[in-house]
DNA sequence: AAGAAATTACGTAAATTTATAACCTTTCCA
DNA sequence: TGGAAAGGTTATAAATTTACGTAATTTCTT
């Protein structure tokens, strides 16, 4: 079944014959309308016969016209564009707001397919029994590392986060079996972090990478949580990548929480409640 | 037209009469299957007559059964869950991985409806002409503030981020007209930050809040970007909220970039390219 | 509180719309 | 000129919807 039928149609437009192309054009012109039309209405709009529309549908691996409409509807769902359009110079605020949210959603949908629960499980295995956990990140990944530290301190395991390359090197070199070092890097190609991973493993620590598959960094980790975001080329700033990394952090933190068992939830609640004093009461 | 028909069905379940509830239950049990069934098959499964199914569909503001299926298909598209189920104690890694990603996506879908592009525009107006920008956040919002700092330094405006309450107070007190202070707080009820907002406004600075609508903090801001996430009660850790805040940061940064015009993209590219030296080449 | 009236719930059957299969005509190329 | 290939016509089957009637439930009397 086609993952996105709109893309398919525009891609295959060339290879269609005359009448079927008419159908394709009518659909592409107003896909929303197509989902609401009957085969008769659509055929008339494209000035072809009904069976032609039906044959067109089957060409795209759908059971028939109703099934085709279902696929079309899915492709149009959420107003998420069938190809997440990138931000254009003359977009207004509404336009770029929606585009960015769409792109982020699209990235997470991809992440859902990419992230391997087995690997998560392995990583949680290590984290749960760590003597000490260290989160390393540079640049845009540094806030991610800090966020992780902010989550994991709750587990009563010594946790630190460093963005200072020298501290990272020294800590990695000084680490030992039972320590877990989590390195967060979008590209996985930052030399410094690859070095750090090597150092850490040489010292006997477990290195968990949250990074791109098959990257130099990935090759030096004990466990790699693969996050394969499309390059954020649009405006030259890391956007969706770090959101995906944060989501991985959430998943790992949840995994550890669950392993700790139900009693541990009380502990978490205490931590949360400790903030009450600092706040105005909820209305 | 219902924004998400699955939510509607589960919400209205109570108010349905006996036969229609049977239909609802069959659909909720396996919505995917429902989209592929004919009205006859569905009626049989629910042990009701076909017109009952049809009436059920119309009750949800759809034209009829086929139209209903279309809405259903849209609600199920992308694997986005209609209600994000919360993590259960005996979930395995696959299960909680998917649940967390789903919850994050659901939050963003909500954000898309909640975030007001007009307000974004106003905030960008202020940011673009700021003499100086300051990002303040505490706890889980501190990494968000840092991330913002990491984005906004590219704009050649002095940008700082503080998580130290005393520094925040002092900076707020010392600020003046033309300074923009962005305060990030999920609840909007942290006393310290409300104080800081008051101080800053008294000094003449513009205060942009990224926080909950109608919160105490919101009341003391010049501009409020409203982010109304459902409480992350599940495991007592902030998860989706900060992702939404980061997305708002992305949107603001994009808005500023676009205002700067096309030449500015070259500048951004230069910054990005400056990292080349530190990396292994892409394969 | 009993029973009549009215409303609502829901099924049967018929009507209508919609989709598909089977078959036929045209076109165009070898 | 034979024969694919494309596309239309007709016929049929399937699915959906409307119309209507009966049973069940609620509401209103007295």
pLDDT tens track for A76-91: 775 544 445 567 778 8
Q: Are residue B130 and residue B239 in the same domain, yes or no?
A: yes
Could you please report the per-residue DSSP string of B201-229?
Answer: HHTT-EEEEEE-TTSHHHHT-SEEEE--P
Q: What CATH number is associated with residue A62?
A: 1.10.10.10
Ranges of chain B whose pLDDT falls below 70: 1-3, 78-85, 229-236, 283
CB-neighbour burial class of residue B156 (10 A; exposed 0-12, middle 13-18, buried 19+): exposed
Answer for the pair A207, A220: CB distance below 8 angstroms, yes or no.
Answer: yes
Q: Are residue A134 and residue A233 in the same domain, yes or no?
A: yes
Q: Are residue B44 and residue B175 in the same domain, yes or no?
A: no
Would you call B280 helix, strand, or coil by DSSP? coil
**Would an 8 Å CB–CB cutoff place A107 in contact with chain B?**
no
Residues 6+ apart with CB under 8 A from B121: A92, A93, B255
Tokens representing B68?
């209903």
**Chain B residues closer than 8 Å to A216 by CB:** 280
Q: Are residue B260 and residue B178 in the same domain, yes or no?
A: yes
**In a domain? residue B85:** no
List the 143-162 stretch of A: residues with Cβ below 8 A of B.
Answer: 143-144, 146-147, 150-151, 154
Task: For chain A, report the end-to-end CA distance as a whole number of angstroms.
Answer: 50
Q: Give the pLDDT of residue A236.
A: 62
Q: Which nucleotides in chain C lie less than 7 Å from some protein C-beta?
A: 8-13, 17-22
Number of domains in chain B: 2
Q: Are residue A117 and residue A74 in the same domain, yes or no?
A: no
Q: Are residue B127 and residue B262 in the same domain, yes or no?
A: yes
List the 46-65 stretch of B: residues with Cβ below 8 A of A.
Answer: none
Q: Are residue B126 and residue B264 in the same domain, yes or no?
A: yes
CB atoms near residue A246 (< 10 Å): 25
Answer for the pair B120, B252: CB distance below 8 angstroms, yes or no.
Answer: yes
**In a domain? residue B279:** no
**In a domain? residue B95:** no
A101 touches strand C (CB under 7 A): no
Q: Give the pLDDT of residue A3.
A: 53
**In a domain? residue A125:** yes
**Chain A residues closer than 8 Å to B272 by CB:** 236
Q: Give the pLDDT of residue A129.
A: 93
**Would an 8 Å CB–CB cutoff place B121 in contact with chain A?**
yes
**In a domain? residue B94:** no
Q: Are residue B119 and residue B250 in the same domain, yes or no?
A: yes
**Would an 8 Å CB–CB cutoff place A73 in contact with chain B?**
yes
Q: Give the pLDDT of residue A13.
A: 80
Q: Are residue A23 and residue A120 in the same domain, yes or no?
A: no
Q: What CATH number is associated with residue B257?
A: 3.40.50.10490
**Would an 8 Å CB–CB cutoff place B220 in contact with chain A?**
no
Q: Which of A27, A57, A79 marks a domain boundary?
A: A79
**In a domain? residue A14:** yes
The whole domain housing B53 covers: 5-79
Q: Which residue is nearest to nucleotide D8 (CA to C1')?
A: A49
Tokens representing B152?
């906004």
**Considering Cα of B210, then B214, then B219, then B222, what sign does the dihedral take?**
positive
**In a domain? residue B216:** yes
Contact A87 B275 (CB under 8 A): no
Closest CA to B180 of B211, B158, B147, B150: B158
Q: Give the pLDDT of residue A103.
A: 82
Q: Are residue B70 and residue B175 in the same domain, yes or no?
A: no
Q: Which helix (H) or strand (E) holds B181?
A: strand B179-184
Ranges of chain A whose pLDDT falls below 50: 1-2, 80-83, 233
Q: Give the pLDDT of residue A233.
A: 47
Q: Are residue B138 and residue B254 in the same domain, yes or no?
A: yes
**In a domain? residue B64:** yes
Contact A101 B251 (CB under 8 A): yes
Q: Which of B28, B59, B79 marks a domain boundary?
A: B79
Whose structure tokens read 């986005």? B80
Q: Are residue B169 and residue B257 in the same domain, yes or no?
A: yes
Q: Give the pLDDT of residue B157.
A: 92
Would you call A274 helix, strand, or coil by DSSP? coil
Q: Which of A34, A54, A79 marks a domain boundary?
A: A79
A17-63 tens-digit pLDDT: 888 888 888 888 888 889 999 999 999 988 998 899 999 888 888 88
């Amino acid at each position: 079944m086609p993952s996105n039928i709109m893309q398919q149609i525009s891609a295959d437009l060339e290879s269609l014959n005359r009448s079927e192309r008419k159908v394709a054009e009518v659909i592409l012109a107003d896909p929303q309308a197509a989902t609401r039309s009957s085969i008769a209405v659509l055929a008339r709009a494209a000035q072809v016969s009904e069976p032609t529309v039906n044959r067109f549908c089957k060409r795209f691996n759908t059971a028939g016209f109703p099934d085709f409409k279902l696929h079309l509807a899915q492709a149009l769902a959420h107003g998420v564009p069938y190809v997440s359009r990138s931000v254009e110079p003359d977009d207004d605020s509404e336009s770029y707001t929606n585009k960015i949210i769409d792109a982020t959603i699209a990235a997470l949908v991809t992440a859902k397919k990419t992230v391997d629960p087995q690997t998560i499980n392995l990583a949680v295995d290590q984290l749960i029994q760590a003597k000490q956990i260290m989160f390393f990140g540079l640049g845009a990944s540094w806030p991610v590392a800090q966020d992780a530290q902010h989550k994991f301190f709750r587990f009563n395991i010594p946790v630190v986060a460093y963005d200072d390359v020298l501290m990272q090197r020294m800590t990695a070199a000084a680490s030992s079996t039972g320590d877990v070092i989590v390195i967060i890097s979008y590209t996985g190609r930052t030399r410094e972090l690859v070095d750090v991973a090597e150092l850490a493993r040489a010292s006997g620590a477990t290195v968990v990478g949250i990074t791109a598959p098959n990257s130099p960094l990935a090759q030096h980790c004990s466990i790699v949580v693969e996050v394969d975001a499309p390059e954020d080329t649009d405006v030259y700033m890391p956007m969706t990548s770090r959101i995906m990394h944060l989501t991985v952090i959430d998943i790992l933190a949840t995994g550890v929480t669950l392993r700790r068992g139900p009693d541990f939830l009380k502990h978490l609640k205490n931590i949360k409640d400790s903030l009450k004093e600092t706040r105005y009461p909820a209305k």
